[in-house]
Amino acid sequence: MLTTTLTKTLSARALFHATSQLGVCEKPKGSNGGPEVTQYLKSIGLGAGYAWCMAFVYWCVNKAAAEMEVKNPLVKTGGVMLQWETTKLRKIPNRATGGVKPGDIFIMEFAHGTGHTGFVQKIENGLVHTIEGNTNDDGSREGYEVAHRTRTISSIKGFIQLP
């Protein structure tokens, strides 16, 4: 359990909610659906069947914002790259990781405008330890669960810093 001091920030509360979802899996596996996944997607206005990593992040931040009685500062979208391009929050490029903190959102960019995202737990020795949705044991961005992952800093486009 996070201490009261740590849970006073939106980023810490969002990370707390992400941690509470570890082990959530699609039902059936590979469907982009199931009770929890449907709730993530519903938080951005989509139904089951869509990629849900950004929806997972939005849902976690939305829960934290509601508890703090503040507006969710994220753009309400399932598009990872759209979030990166349109957010009003502070963006940190991957080469400037000194300011990145637990609860910040990492962004990965792939071909054809696709991406992947999740929460930073910590950065250590050039590695980003994360909690992310729509992943699997191979680290896929089209997986089936919420899980811990370890990514190289060089694989990250940048970070969105929550207040």
Are residues 156 and 106 in contact, defined by beta-carbon separation less than 8 angstroms? yes
Mean pLDDT for 100-120 is 93
Percent of the chain with pLDDT over 70: 94
Task: Identify the pLDDT of residue 5.
Answer: 42
What pTM was estimated for this model as a whole? 0.93
> Which of 102, 129, 132 shows the shortest CA–CA distance to 117?
132
pLDDT reading at 149 higher than 80: yes
Task: Identify the pLDDT of residue 7.
Answer: 62
Q: What is the pLDDT of residues 34-53, one digit of tens each?
A: 999 999 999 999 998 999 99
CATH architecture under which domain 6-161 falls: Alpha-Beta Complex (3.90)
pLDDT reading at 4 higher than 70: no
CA of residue 22 relative to chain centroid, distance:
12
Say what the alpha-carbon torsion angle 64, 68, 69, 73 is, to the nearest 10 degrees.
Answer: -50
Mean pLDDT for 109-126 is 92
Task: Identify the pLDDT of residue 67.
Answer: 95
Residue 97 pLDDT class (50, 70, 90 cuts): low
Classify residue 145 by its DSSP letter: E
Q: How far apart are CA 48 and CA 52, in angstroms?
A: 9
> Which of 27-36, 54-63, 94-103 bottoms out in mean pLDDT, i.e. has the lowest?
94-103
Q: How far apart are CA 130 and CA 107, in angstroms?
A: 11
Task: Identify the pLDDT of residue 59.
Answer: 98
